[in-house]
Structures are given as C-alpha cells and as structure tokens.
C-alpha cells in the first residue's frame, strides 16, 4: 500500500454553513487525509475588518467534529505560516473559490520553504448567494435586529 495523499485547506470557517461542508467534502476527494488550518482570530480581524463571531478554538472544535476532516490546526496570527504548512507536509493544497491567492506566487513561496505541494482551486461556490458567512450575518440582522 502506498503513501496516503494528504490534502490541506485553510480558512476562517466562522458560522459553519453548507458552503463550508461542500468545500471540505470536495477537498477530501482530492486525497486520503484532510487537514484544515483554521484562521487565527487576529488574522480574521485583519482580513475581514471584524472579529470572528466564534473563537478560533470553537471553530477548530466544530471542524474536528466533521466527517471529512482528519486533523485541525489553528493558524498563526500572520496570514500564512509556512512553518506549519511544512510540518503538515501536504501533497495537495486546495483553495476555495473565494480565496483570492496568486497561485504562482504561492507556489514560489512554498518552494522557498521546501514545500512541494500541488495547488488546486475549486472553481465554484455552493449557492454563493446564501452560503456565505457575510450573507448569513446580513440575513440575521435583517430578520432579527429590527
């Protein structure tokens, strides 16, 4: 039996929703083990301009309970911790459709850190009109905060 293919995804995963489940399920299909790096609370504040609704510990615990997920790590406060990625040693890194990284730049940075992983971008978002944390927050405000 050969080596298991290790898949890595990263994200905020705040207010877990069906779009997240779809993304994680699709990512898991790319290999044998799915490892998730959940964004540090400080990273969320910097990227989203607001703190997460759920703490990084709570988001990690929710992800650990999901069927497709094998391991969960909490990311460092900086945007990408290449040391953590090297420790995880993924064969494949899967990006979601709303993760707007420059793939060529990411490949170069990975190589600089001794990481040789394939990068795959999932090109579609499941029901992006409603399956998005920002849209869920908007609906909560609209329906319950009048």
Q: Of the ranges 76-80, 108-112, 130-134, which one carries the lowest mean pLDDT score?
A: 130-134
The answer as to whether 1 is a domain residue is no
Model pLDDT for residues 6-39, shown as the tens digit of each residue: 999 999 999 898 889 999 999 999 999 999 999 9
Quote the pTM value: 0.88
pLDDT value of residue 125: 64
pLDDT value of residue 130: 61
The answer as to whether 12 is a domain residue is yes
CATH number at residue 24: 3.40.50.620
pLDDT band at 129 (very low <50, low <70, confident <90, very high): low
Domain membership of residue 95 as a residue range: 6-144
pLDDT value of residue 8: 98
The answer as to whether 26 is a domain residue is yes
Higher pLDDT, 5 or 138: 5
- Selection from 94, 87, 80 nearest residue 43 by Cα: 80
pLDDT value of residue 78: 78
Higher pLDDT, 66 or 138: 66
pLDDT score of 41 more than 70:
yes
Model pLDDT for residues 59-103, shown as the tens digit of each residue: 999 999 999 999 999 999 977 789 999 999 999 999 988 888 899
3-state DSSP: the chain helix, strand, coil percent, rounded to 5? 40, 15, 45
The answer to whether residues 30 and 139 touch, using CB atoms and an 8 Å cutoff, is no
The answer as to whether 85 is a domain residue is yes
The answer to whether residues 125 and 26 touch, using CB atoms and an 8 Å cutoff, is no
Q: Is the dihedral of CA 7, 31, 68, 1 positive or negative?
A: negative
The answer as to whether 92 is a domain residue is yes
Structural domains of the chain, count: 1
pLDDT score of 127 more than 80:
no
DSSP secondary structure, 43-95, as one string = HHHHHHSS--SS-HHHHHHHHHTSTT--EEEEPPSSS--HHHHHHH--SEEEE
pLDDT value of residue 126: 62
């Amino acid at each position: 039996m050969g080596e298991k293919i290790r898949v890595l995804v990263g994200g905020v995963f705040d207010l877990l929703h069906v779009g997240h489940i779809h993304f994680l399920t699709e990512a898991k299909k790319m290999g044998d083990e799915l490892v998730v790096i959940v964004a540090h609370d400080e990273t969320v504040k910097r990227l989203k301009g607001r703190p997460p609704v759920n703490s990084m510990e709570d988001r990690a615990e929710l992800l650990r309970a999901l069927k497709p997920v094998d391991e969960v790590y909490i990311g460092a406060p900086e945007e990408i911790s290449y040391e953590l990625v090297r420790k995880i040693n993924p064969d494949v890194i899967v990006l979601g459709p709303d993760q707007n990284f420059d793939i060529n730049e990411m490949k170069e940075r990975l190589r600089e850190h001794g990481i040789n992983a394939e990068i795959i971008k999932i090109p579609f978002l499941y029901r992006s009109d409603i399956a998005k944390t920002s849209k869920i927050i908007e609906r909560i405000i609209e329906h319950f905060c009048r």
